[in-house]
C-alpha cells in the first residue's frame, strides 16, 4: 500500500487531495500546525477513515519530524505562507519561512526508505514578472522564461520563495515533480479568495452595488476536484520526475467582471456591478497552457465553470452562510 504525507493538509487543497486519495485506498498522514487550516466537521469526518491520520506538527521545528516515520512513498509539500494579505504584511517571513519549511521537508525526504516522489507546490505567480516586463505567451507554457518583479515589492516575496523553491527541489537529488496551480476554487476555500468572497458579498448584500476590483483582468478557473486528480496523476507518472507542470484550465478565460456577473446570477442577487480599481500587483492575465499536463496525465477537467460555481455556492450557502460555519483560510 502506498503511504502518503501531505504537509499543510488541513488547508483547502490539502483536504481535497486527502479526500481524493482516501477514496482510492491510500494510507495518508495529514500534517498541519493549524495556523491556516482548520479542524472543521469535514476534516474530522475524513480522519474517521482508519487509513487517514491527522498530526498536529510545526514543520518549522526540525525536531517535529521525529514524530513521523520514514516509510512514505509520496510527499505532497503544500505547507507555505500564502495569501496576498499575509504576503503584503510579512514578506520577510514569506521568504525565510517558506524556504525553511521546504528545506526541512527535503531533508526529511532524504531519510525515507522508499520515497518515489516529492511533489512541490509552486505557483502561477512566478509568471507575473514576465507578464509585467516582457511578452508573456497566453496560454502560458511551462518553458516560459521567468522574470521576478521588483525585489523591494512585498508581493515579490511569495513569487521568489517559489522560484527558489523550484530550483532547490530540482537540485535536491530527490525524485521531484513541480506543480504550478492556476486559480483553484471550490468548497472549503478561504473566504478571502475571489470566488467565495464574491459569493459572500452577494449573499449578504446590504448595498445595491457590488464593487468588483480589477474588473477587466482575465483568469481561467479550475474546480478543486479536477485539480487534485491532476496532481495525483502527476505524482505517480514516472516521466514527470524533474519536470514542472501547470495545473488548471486553459479555457474559458473570463474577466473578473464576467465572473461576478455569473455569481450574481447564481445567487439571485439584485446587486449592480460597480467597477472598482485595479488591485496593485495583480497580473492582468493568467491562463496556463495545459498541453504538457494533459499529455502527462491523460486527463481533461470535467467540471465546467458554471457547474463548479454552482457546487461551490451550494456548499457555502449550506455550511457557512446559513450555519455560521467556517472554512479553511
Joined together, the cell numbers standing for residue 196 give: 467565495
Q: Would you state the pLDDT for residue 205?
A: 85
Which 3 state secondary structure label does DSSP give 243?
A: strand
Nearest Cα residue to 70 out of 104, 106, 112, 29: 112
Q: Would you state the pLDDT for residue 94?
A: 94
Joined together, the cell numbers standing for residue 77 give: 509539500
**6: phi then psi, degrees, rounded to nearest 5:** -120, 110
User: Distance (Å, rounded) from C-alpha 172 to C-alpha 112?
Assistant: 14
Which 3 state secondary structure label does DSSP give 277?
A: coil
Ranges of beta strands (E only) in 89-175 are 117-121
Q: Would you state the pLDDT for residue 329?
A: 64
Which 3 state secondary structure label does DSSP give 187?
A: coil
User: CA 137 → CA 131, 143, 287, distances in Å?
Assistant: 8, 10, 9
Q: List the chain pLDDT tens, one digit each, 329 residues.
A: 789 999 999 999 999 999 999 999 999 999 999 987 789 999 999 999 999 999 999 999 999 999 999 999 999 999 998 877 788 899 999 999 999 999 999 999 999 999 999 999 999 999 999 999 999 999 999 999 999 999 999 999 999 999 999 999 999 999 999 999 999 999 999 888 999 999 999 999 878 999 999 999 999 999 999 999 999 999 999 999 999 999 999 999 999 999 999 999 999 999 999 999 998 888 899 999 999 999 999 999 999 999 999 999 999 999 999 987 777 66
The answer to whether residues 248 and 181 touch, using CB atoms and an 8 Å cutoff, is yes
Task: Give the chain's domains with CATH numbers.
Answer: 3-184+222-248+286-302 (3.40.50.720)
Which 3 state secondary structure label does DSSP give 32?
A: strand
- pTM for this prediction: 0.96
**140: phi then psi, degrees, rounded to nearest 5:** -95, 120
Q: How close are the terminal C-alpha atoms of the chain, in Å?
A: 32
User: Distance (Å, rounded) from C-alpha 91 to C-alpha 70?
Assistant: 33
Amino acid at each position: 500500500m502506498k503511504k502518503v504525507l501531505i504537509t499543510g493538509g488541513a488547508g483547502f487543497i490539502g483536504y481535497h487531495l486527502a479526500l481524493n486519495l482516501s477514496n482510492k485506498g491510500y494510507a495518508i498522514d495529514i500534517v498541519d500546525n493549524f495556523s491556516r487550516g482548520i479542524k472543521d466537521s469535514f476534516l474530522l469526518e475524513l480522519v474517521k477513515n482508519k487509513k487517514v491520520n491527522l498530526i498536529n506538527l510545526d514543520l518549522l521545528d526540525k525536531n517535529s519530524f521525529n514524530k513521523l516515520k520514514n516509510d512514505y512513498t509520496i510527499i505532497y509539500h503544500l505547507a507555505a505562507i500564502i495569501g496576498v494579505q499575509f504576503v503584503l504584511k510579512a514578506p520577510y517571513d514569506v521568504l525565510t519561512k517558506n524556504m525553511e519549511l521546504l528545506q526541512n521537508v527535503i531533508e526529511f525526504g532524504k531519510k525515507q526508505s522508499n520515497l518515489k516522489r516529492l511533489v512541490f507546490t509552486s505557483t502561477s505567480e512566478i509568471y507575473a514578472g514576465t507578464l509585467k516586463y516582457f511578452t508573456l505567451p497566453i496560454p502560458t507554457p511551462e518553458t516560459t522564461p521567468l522574470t521576478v518583479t521588483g525585489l523591494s515589492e512585498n508581493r515579490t516575496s511569495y513569487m521568489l520563495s517559489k522560484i527558489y523553491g523550484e530550483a532547490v527541489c530540482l537540485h535536491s537529488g530527490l525524485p521531484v515533480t513541480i506543480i504550478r496551480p492556476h486559480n483553484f476554487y471550490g468548497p472549503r476555500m478561504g473566504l478571502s479568495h475571489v470566488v467565495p468572497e464574491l459569493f459572500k458579498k452577494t449573499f449578504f448584500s446590504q448595498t445595491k452595488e457590488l464593487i468588483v476590483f480589477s474588473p477587466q483582468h482575465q483568469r481561467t478557473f479550475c474546480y478543486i476536484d479536477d485539480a487534485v486528480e491532476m496532481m495525483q496523476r502527476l505524482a505517480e507518472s514516472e516521466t514527470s520526475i524533474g519536470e514542472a507542470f501547470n495545473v488548471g484550465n486553459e479555457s474559458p478565460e473570463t474577466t473578473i467582471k464576467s465572473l461576478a456577473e455569473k455569481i450574481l446570477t447564481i445567487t439571485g442577487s439584485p446587486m449592480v456591478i460597480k467597477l472598482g480599481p485595479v488591485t496593485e500587483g495583480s497580473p492582468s492575465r493568467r491562463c496556463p497552457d495545459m498541453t504538457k499536463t494533459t499529455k502527462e496525465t491523460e486527463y481533461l477537467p470535467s467540471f465546467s465553470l458554471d457547474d463548479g460555481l454552482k457546487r461551490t455556492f451550494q456548499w457555502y450557502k449550506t455550511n457557512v452562510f446559513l450555519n455560521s460555519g467556517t472554512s479553511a483560510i
